[in-house]
Amino acid sequence: MRRLLISGLLALLPAAAPAETVLLMAEKSGCYWCAKWHQELGGIYPKTPEGRTAPLLRYELHAASPDADLARTVQYTPTFILVDDGQEVGRIEGYPGEDFFWGMLTSLFLRAEISLDHAS
């Protein structure tokens, strides 16, 4: 009976959540480079290995801060912050254009030793 009670209580405890990796995008209304990123990459990003590994979470720069431990305050928009398990592991300040963006983002994943989800 005691074993059954303990098993029942353990079943009620929340399961440990897996580490979550996200790409935060700090933006503000009227930001030309934010709009350019959305125009060039916004539609494709979720379909890429990077987007599957670190889904994009957008937030308004002057609104509530994201639920993450950031290394420093965001000063520029757009700023892309790679967050793994609630901790900033790297960032890209500004949008350097499509070609440079992918290389810089890949570098963030490599430095943080985060494997990309290549499943389609």
Residue 80 near residue 91, CB atoms below 8 Å: yes
Place of tokens 């959305």: 38
- What's the whole-number average pLDDT of the chain? 86
SS3 75: coil
- Please give the structure tokens belonging to residue 9: 């209580």
Identify the residue whose tokens are 């993450």. Answer: 68
Q: How confident is the model at residue 19 (pLDDT cuts 50, 70, 90)?
A: low
- pLDDT(103) > 70: yes
Name all contacts of 30-33 with Cβ < 8 Å and 24+ positions apart: 31/77, 31/78, 33/77, 33/78, 33/94, 33/95
**pLDDT number for residue 12:** 40
State the pLDDT confidence band at 120, using cuts at 50, 70 and 90: low
pLDDT at 51 over 80: yes
Q: Which SS3 state, helix, strand or coil, does residue 29 take?
A: coil
Chosen CATH of 19-111 out of 3.40.30.10, 3.30.428.10, 3.40.190.10, 3.30.420.10: 3.40.30.10
Whole-prediction pTM value? 0.82
Distance from the first to the final alpha carbon of the chain: 47
| Cis before 78 (ω within 30) | yes
Determine whether 40 is exposed, middle or buried from the number of CB atoms within 10 Å of its CB (0-12, 13-18, 19+): middle
